[in-house]
Structures are given as structure tokens and as C-alpha cells.
Structure 1
């Protein structure tokens, strides 16, 4: 399918993991992609992979309004339009127990994950109004239910409510805002934690953690015309963990399902 033929998408944190998979998916479906990240060498390689005629790599720190504004302006100048913004930048950057979290740590977490997404939306809106484009923000199941990482969860929950409000405000102008809420996804963030993903697999009814391509498929749907009448929604892509994490111990609970 070529759902993004003639369209331009800007993907934040596109150097690896989910952002990289999203950039590849949109490009594979005919779109041009602006890939942003702090890792210049990696996004340069992504742009080279996609092709110089349809990709642009820009170093961006989403906590810097100047960086964000410059990146969006460069995207519009290079390709003449902007149709899709994928807010993927963010992360869990607070490691203390919540009772000890400082004001500075709270501000850092919210600035990166929540306010960073807002900056990208604000900079992109004038272009998205012209193209009747859309925004997909990558939140998390942490923003939907209590899985810990309180500061990160608060920022991710904020993304969801922010997107709903933008959807209501800019729907009359044809701009859509949706959210994807992934569960645990196999990304380089887990590389230094051997055995963790294998342990998490037992929590998921579908028996595995997610792959970046699982999330990219959902983003491609929501940002395409196939989702033209969907806005203000959060799509969990989480292997069923929201049905009840850790509730089923198949080694002690008897048969997991009827044998056919």
C-alpha cells in the first residue's frame, strides 16, 4: 500500500526503536520522512537508507523550542508541506522512588515527555491546518493504568488528555490527534537489562513483548486516511496486558484453554 504517497511526516526520536520503525514504515508506504533525534550519526544513516530525495535528518532536542521550531521550518522548506507529526520523543528519566523525587526531576520528566510533545504540536499546527494533517503521539500503558514509574506515567497520561483536547479544538479545521499506548516493546533501551524482557513476556496474554514494527503498524493506520474519521482516541497496542497484568499463572491454574 502507498498510503503516504505525496505526504510528509516528521518523526521525533527516530534514530532507533519505535521511531526508526515508524520512519521506515511511512517511507515504505510512499511518504517522505523528516527524522529527528539527538543521535546525528544514526538519523543520518536512517535518511540515507530511505533515500536523499525522500528523507531529511535533523538533530533536535525536544526540550528546546528553538530546535523544534527550526526543525519544523526546515521540513516545510525542504518538502513544501507537513502532513503527519509523530511525537515519539520521551522516556523514563527519573530513577528515584517517588517519595524522593525532586522538583527538578519532575520538571525534567515533564519537559521531555509532555511539554516536548506540546512544543512539536505547536510548531507543526500551522502546516497541519493547511494540509488537514494529523498528529500521532506515542504514549504508554503507563499512562492508562498503574504500572509504576509514577513521574513517567503522569507525563504519559498528560499526553493522552492533551491530545483529546487538541482533537476537540482543531477537529473543525480537519486536524486529527490520536495516541498509541504501547506495552513493553523490544528496543535498545533494554539492551543492558538481560533477562528482563523474557520475564515480562509471562505478563502478556499473547505471550510476548512487542516489537517496534507492531507500534509502527498502528501509527501508520492512525496517521493514514484509513483513520480519517478517528480522532481523540488512544489505541492500546499491548499484547493484552491491560486485561489483567500478572493475573494468570498457567503453571498452577489448570488448563489455560480448551484443547481443540
Structure 2
């Protein structure tokens, strides 16, 4: 459990918070004193996450929220404000990633559209609904969850394009809302051990050698970065992308391994 209480008195809304990164973010901010609304398209799992936080003596509620639906998003924001009295932090963790077809040209329009709608447009909808309330507090912060897929080819065309779009949206929105006292930043995770990798432990183990720090990420690694950017410790930081990826985008480990092997011959 976090030792600090940087979010005492804060109202927080986290999307995609039933499990994985979103759940870890909800827990970390609640541990630091926030009142957290856990939202997700899976209401029973969202309630499980919120209930687990309440069992720890933390303040959390759960609510169904489909970020593809404007009315659902606006209802979630209104619920957070009504329940907590204010909304200081929005964390956009909801996203959708569909495996690519073997041939690029076989990718269906509906899959492309839905991945972008959930991952990119969903973030837009949440920010649009939350901004008046965030601005009213004088300490509002938005943290978007991006991906290293926006920086290099790790597959998943639609998801990658959506995450790249989040980088641009973060920068432009940060400039647009700065005068209203709201900061907007992006966390860029590498491979993180979540339910998306369930049953694929061999793949995760194989990836370890690609990461200079020798392991894949855990949801708590991302939650710690989110907590920093959402807090007043980052009060002079906006429009930035914080890469939390164990060094995978800093070093071409495959290239280095190949060149070192050649030198050893």
C-alpha cells in the first residue's frame, strides 16, 4: 500500500478499471486517499474491484460505463461528481485490441472502426464530459494510457493507430486546456502482465530477454507512473508522454545481440 496521501479529498474516475492496468490505477489512487469510481463495460467485475478496495478500508464505487456511448460516459462523470462532490482526476484506461488478420488487406472495417472508437474516440468522449468539472477544481488532471505500439511495430494495426492518436490528442488537449488549470499527460506502457496474456506465460517468459530491465511490466508499474502524473508532484508537467517500458524502445536488443555474436566469432 502506498505510504503517501497525495489524493486526499480527490474525486477520481478510471475507465476500463475492472481489471489489469485500470484496476491497479484505481487501487493506487485509492490507497493515496482518493475516492474512486471504478467504471467498465463489465459491471460485475467492476463491482468486484471496487468491493476489494472497500474491504481495504478505501473509498470506491463501481458503475457500468461504455466509453463508446456518449450518454453512458456523461452519466459516469455525473455520478462521480454527485458521489464525491468533485472530480479532480480522470484516467482513461479503456481500450480495445483486436488481433490482425494474416493479410493487411483482409482487415474488416468494423474491427478497425471499433478499435479506434473504444481506444481513441472513447478517450475523447470521457475528456469532453469531464473537463468542466476538472477545470472547476483548479487542480484537474487527465492521464491517458497509451502504448509502445504507437512508437514501434508490435502488431495490431488499428490498436496501434489509436494509441498513436492518443499521443496527438494528449498534446493538443494539454495546450488547449492549460489556461483552465487542467493538465493532460500520457503514460506509454510496454508489455504488461494482464489478463490479455492469460495462458501465454511462455510468450511472456520469452519476452524477458527483449527488455533491458529483464522482465515484462506489472500493472502496478503503470499505476505508479499514473499516480505521479496525476498528482501535484507533476504540477509543471503537461502534454508529455512518460514511457514505462523496461527500456524496450530505448534499445534494439535483437540488433545488439546479433552484433555481439558476430564479434564473439
Query: TM-score scaled to structure 2, two decimals?
Result: 0.91
Q: Distance in 2 between matches of 1:64 and 1:79?
A: 23
Q: Distance in 1 between matches of 2:121 and 2:206?
A: 32
Q: Is the 8 A contact 1:94 1:109 kept in 2?
A: no
Matches within 5 A, 1:19-168: 19-51=22-54, 54-96=59-101, 97-132=103-138, 133-168=140-175
Q: 79-88 vs 185-194, which deviates more? A: 185-194
Q: Is the 8 A contact 2:212 2:247 kept in 1?
A: yes
Structure 2 counterpart of 1:217: 224
Q: 171-180 vs 49-58, which deviates more? A: 49-58
Q: Is the 8 A contact 2:30 2:58 kept in 1?
A: no
SS of corresponding position for 1:75: helix
Structure 1 counterpart of 2:241: 234
Alpha-carbon distance, 1:22 to partner: 0.4
1:164/1:41 CA distance change after superposition, 3 Å: same
Structure 2 counterpart of 1:198: 205
Q: Is the 8 A contact 1:34 1:58 kept in 2?
A: yes
Q: Is the 8 A contact 2:186 2:242 kept in 1?
A: yes
User: Moved runs in structure 1, 4+ residues, more than 6 A?
Assistant: none
Q: Distance in 2 between matches of 1:69 and 1:87?
A: 14
Q: Deviations over 1:86-139 (max 9, x none)?
A: 000002124314322222222111101000110110110110110130100000
Aligned residue pairs: how many?
255
Q: 237-246 vs 45-54, which deviates more? A: 45-54
Structure with a larger share of its residues in helix: 2
Q: RMSD between aligned alpha carbons? A: 1.7
Structure 1 counterpart of 2:255: 247
Alpha-carbon distance, 1:46 to partner: 1.8
- Segments of 5+ residues of structure 1 without an aligned counterpart are 256-260
Structure 2 counterpart of 1:2: 5
Q: Is the 8 A contact 2:146 2:166 kept in 1?
A: yes
Query: TM-score scaled to structure 1, two decimals?
Result: 0.93
Q: 145-154 vs 243-252, which deviates more? A: 243-252
Match of 1:174 among 157, 169, 181: 181
Q: Deviations over 1:131-157 (max 9, x none)?
A: 130100000011122322221111000
1:59/1:253 CA distance change after superposition, 3 Å: farther
Alpha-carbon distance, 1:193 to partner: 2.3
Q: Distance in 1 between matches of 2:69 and 2:131?
A: 17
SS of corresponding position for 1:202: helix
- Segments of 5+ residues of structure 2 without an aligned counterpart are none
Q: Distance in 1 between matches of 2:165 and 2:132?
A: 23
Alpha-carbon distance, 1:71 to partner: 0.6
1:135/1:100 CA distance change after superposition, 3 Å: same
